[in-house]
């Protein structure tokens, strides 16, 4: 019995997979090319979309007990590329619904906190990742991800695997010979036999075979158009063509059909006596009634001119508990990047905040992390929009601004990135660059960001310029994404700050818009300063609607040393990150 199982965690760039699972080996020569970011809510709805929405509880039972192969998209609901790809995936699932007994389509949301351990076990670091049960479907960077391409990849997989591992319900997909076909003529049978004649490169025959796999009283085969005399004898003048052998052995070409998969399949399904088999529905463990920790249920009113600690905390929560947590172990360059991120955040993070305190290992281990993400300034009008990627931008803008406001905080960070004094001025950017490269779930975003970084990040020679560099590049991204599917209609991608929030930032020179960069810098330094952070809606508040309480905490924080990185009050930067004593280069 064919047993479907999941894939072996992969080794990536020196990182060790610590928990090898008893999973089939993916094609070793192929590297997964994966995309996008992270967070909240669901792109696919069970019972509504024509695919199986898997969860941490159901994925193993589904794959392990399956007599069909699976192709599973590991996605993250708020990942831009996942959102953009969802209509294709849904359409694909609908298109191949009849193939279910041979190959099933599923999804698993790795942005859902309850699923991230599972995603980690499957070695998923970026989204969307497409993995097949007993195979990986890989999308080379920039490859055409059209429905048809994916469908053909599924067929290639089914056909190219040996009979032992092919799902038992999958019919033979190889072509039959002329003599095989002739042997069926003029003989009684219990069923129709349809033969799709086609060229070597055509997928129509295999698609029709799979379309009819759940139908009884019919068998579909395919034949190639090599044997010209035989084709002539059958009256076949063009391919693809469909030839039908009746149960009584009589045979003939089906005429008047457009040579398309849909025409062939629907004609064959409509033959008298051809019916869909009754199949038992897939039984999966019902999802536990867990708290929907990442769903946005109630719109929170907020002030666009302020920065919300809830966003920064939730961003960190997601960064540590989901994005970083998908890595089983951090070693080498990844570990260094993480350590540098911790160091930088501790040195320049906002004073006295829970957010700053999070940067200790104890919080990373989960003890003091917020229990759930709670977006305020990063709320989306739909749960899959904004969220984590918004908070990540805000986090890094805050860090560049804090570094510029308190330059002494970055003293003695020479070994942080191994950079020289001038390059150290851009250290926050460099650490951000490496974070995005190593950890950001959105691979395509990371590639775009890296292109911008390569182009000009090294020329940033002051802390102020670092603030402006990030602002400018963020606007480049805004410009690129304006009108994109991932744009929240309530939060259009605009060149920021807009004139209403910073009139002084905008000028016109000879009728052309121009930024006043000095004013922009001033604005950013004020917008991303500690003083502009509101604590309303943070988890420590018992009543999130209680503004007073939030402000109290702000007052308390303001009583803390103003510049912890400068005067030594903040000891977090001196804290050692616990290191595996047997392997000090691994976390």
Ligand X SMILES: Cc1cc2nc3c(=O)[nH]c(=O)nc-3n(C[C@H](O)[C@H](O)[C@H](O)COP(=O)(O)OP(=O)(O)OC[C@H]3O[C@@H](n4cnc5c(N)ncnc54)[C@H](O)[C@@H]3O)c2cc1C
Binding mask 67-106 for ligand X (x = CB under 6 A): -------------x--------------------------
**Smallest distance, ligand X to C-beta of residue 232, A:** 54
**Smallest distance, ligand X to C-beta of residue 342, A:** 19
Nearest residue to ligand X, by Cβ distance, number only: 80
**Smallest distance, ligand X to C-beta of residue 38, A:** 10
Interaction of residue 390 with ligand X, rule CB under 6 A: yes
- Out of 4, 79, 442, 445, which one is annotated catalytic? 79
Identify the CA nearest to 315 among candidates 242, 397, 241, 247. Answer: 397
CB 122 within 8 A of CB 328: no
CB 209 within 8 A of CB 175: no
Specify whether 82 is catalytic. yes
Distance CA 124, CA 34 (A): 9
- Out of 82, 133, 242, 416, which one is annotated catalytic? 82
The interaxial angle of helices 427-438 and 463-481, nearest 10 deg, is: 40
Interaction of residue 475 with ligand X, rule CB under 6 A: yes
Interaction of residue 145 with ligand X, rule CB under 6 A: no
Identify the CA nearest to 561 among candidates 412, 396, 402, 350. Answer: 350
Binder of ligand X out of 120, 386, 424, 425 (CB under 6 A): 386
Residues 156-215 that bind ligand X (CB under 6 A): none
Residues 309-348 that bind ligand X (CB under 6 A): none
Neighbours of 65 (CB within 10 A): 13
Interaction of residue 389 with ligand X, rule CB under 6 A: yes
Binder of ligand X out of 393, 407, 522, 575 (CB under 6 A): 393
- In the complex with ligand X, the residue whose CB is nearer, 78 or 202, is 78
Binder of ligand X out of 264, 308, 355, 471 (CB under 6 A): 471
CB 196 within 8 A of CB 240: yes
Interaction of residue 394 with ligand X, rule CB under 6 A: yes
Binding mask 420-459 for ligand X (x = CB under 6 A): ----------------x-----x-xx--xx----------
The 3 state secondary structure assigned to 549-579 is HHHHHHHHHHHCCCCHHHHCCCCHHHCCCCC
- In the complex with ligand X, the residue whose CB is nearer, 409 or 436, is 436
CA-CA-CA-CA torsion for 348, 353, 357, 359, nearest 10 degrees? -40
Identify the CA nearest to 462 among candidates 494, 433, 422, 501. Answer: 422
Identify the CA nearest to 64 among candidates 6, 132, 122. Answer: 6
Distance CA 367, CA 557 (A): 21
Specify whether 378 is catalytic. no
The residues, ordered by sequence, that sit 6+ positions from 310 with a Cβ below 8 Å of its Cβ are: 374, 375, 376, 535, 536, 537, 538, 539
- In the complex with ligand X, the residue whose CB is nearer, 80 or 175, is 80
Residue 459 burial (10 A CB sphere; 0-12, 13-18, 19+): exposed
Distance CA 458, CA 452 (A): 11
- In the complex with ligand X, the residue whose CB is nearer, 389 or 570, is 389
- In the complex with ligand X, the residue whose CB is nearer, 189 or 478, is 478
- The radius of gyration computed from the CA coordinates of the chain, to the nearest angstrom, equals 29
What number of chain residues touch ligand X (CB under 6 A)?
A: 25
- Any idea what the Cα angle at residue 583 is, between residues 581 and 587, rounded to 5°? 85
- In the complex with ligand X, the residue whose CB is nearer, 355 or 471, is 471
> What distances in angstroms separate CA 341 from CA 34, 324, 348, one per listed residue?
23, 12, 11
Candidates 161-169, 281-289, 349-357, 467-475; binding stretch for ligand X (CB under 6 A): 467-475
Candidates 50-58, 225-233, 291-299, 476-484; binding stretch for ligand X (CB under 6 A): 476-484
**Smallest distance, ligand X to C-beta of residue 39, A:** 10
- In the complex with ligand X, the residue whose CB is nearer, 2 or 434, is 434
- In the complex with ligand X, the residue whose CB is nearer, 480 or 562, is 480
Catalytic machinery residues: 79, 82
| Residues in touch with ligand X (CB under 6 A) | 80, 378, 386, 389-390, 392-394, 397, 436, 442, 444-445, 448-449, 471, 474-475, 477-478, 481, 486, 488, 491, 496
């Amino acid at each position: 019995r064919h047993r479907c199982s999941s894939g072996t965690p992969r080794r990536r760039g020196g990182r060790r997979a610590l928990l090898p699972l008893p999973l089939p080996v993916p094609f070793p020569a192929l590297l997964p090319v994966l995309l996008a970011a992270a967070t909240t809510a669901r792109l696919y709805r069970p019972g509504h979309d024509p695919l199986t929405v898997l969860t941490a509880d159901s994925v193993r039972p589904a794959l392990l007990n399956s007599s069909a192969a699976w192709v599973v998209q590991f996605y993250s609901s708020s990942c831009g590329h996942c959102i953009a790809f969802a209509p294709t995936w849904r359409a694909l699932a609908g298109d191949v619904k009849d193939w279910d007994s041979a190959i099933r389509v599923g999804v698993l949301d790795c942005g859902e906190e309850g699923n991230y351990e599972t995603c980690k076990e499957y070695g998923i670091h970026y989204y969307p990742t497409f993995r097949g049960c007993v195979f990986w479907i890989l999308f080379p960077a920039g490859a055409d991800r059209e429905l048809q391409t994916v469908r053909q990849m599924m067929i290639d997989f089914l056909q190219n695997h040996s009979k032992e591992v092919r799902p038992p319900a999958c019919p033979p997909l190889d072509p039959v010979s002329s003599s095989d076909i002739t042997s069926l003529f003029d003989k009684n049978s219990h069923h129709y036999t349809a033969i799709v004649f086609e060229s070597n490169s055509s997928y129509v025959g295999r698609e029709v075979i799979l379309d009819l796999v759940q139908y009884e009283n019919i068998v579909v085969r395919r034949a190639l158009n090599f044997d010209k005399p035989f084709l002539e004898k059958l009256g076949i003048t063009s391919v693809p063509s469909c030839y039908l052998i009746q149960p009584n052995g009589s045979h003939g070409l089906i005429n008047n059909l457009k040579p398309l998969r849909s025409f062939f399949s629907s004609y064959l399904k409509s033959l008298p006596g051809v019916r869909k088999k009754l199949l038992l529905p897939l039984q999966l463990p019902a999802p536990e009634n867990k708290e929907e920790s990442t769903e946005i249920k109630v719109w929170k009113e907020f002030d666009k001119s302020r920065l919300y600690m809830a966003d920064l905390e939730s961003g960190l929560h997601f960064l540590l508990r989901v994005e970083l947590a998908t890595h089983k172990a951090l070693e080498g360059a990844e570990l260094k990047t993480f350590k540098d991120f911790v160091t930088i955040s501790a040195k320049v993070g906002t004073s006295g905040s829970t957010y700053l305190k999070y940067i200790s290992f104890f919080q990373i281990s989960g003890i003091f992390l917020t229990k759930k993400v709670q977006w305020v300034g990063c709320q989306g009008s739909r749960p899959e929009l904004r969220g984590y990627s918004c908070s990540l931008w805000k986090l890094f803008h805050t860090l560049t601004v804090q570094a510029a406001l308190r330059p002494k905080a970055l003293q003695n960070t020479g070994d942080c990135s191994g950079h020289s004094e001038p390059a150290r001025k851009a250290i926050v950017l460099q650490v951000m660059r490496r974070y995005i490269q190593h950890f950001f779930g959105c691979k395509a975003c990371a590639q775009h960001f890296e292109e911008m970084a390569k182009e000009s990040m090294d020329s940033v020679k002051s802390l102020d310029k670092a603030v402006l560099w990030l602002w400018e590049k963020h606007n480049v991204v805004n410009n690129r994404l304006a009108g994109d599917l991932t744009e929240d209609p309530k939060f259009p991608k605009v060149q920021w700050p807009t004139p209403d929030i910073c009139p002084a930032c905008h000028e016109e020179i000879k009728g052309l818009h121009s930024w006043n960069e000095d004013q922009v810098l001033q604005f950013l330094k004020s917008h991303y300063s500690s003083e502009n952070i509101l604590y309303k809606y943070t988890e420590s508040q018992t009543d999130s609607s209680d503004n007073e309480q939030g402000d109290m905490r702000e007052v308390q924080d303001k009583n803390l040393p103003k510049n912890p990185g400068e005067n030594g009050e903040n000891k977090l930067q001196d804290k050692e990150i616990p290191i595996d004593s047997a392997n000090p280069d691994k976390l």
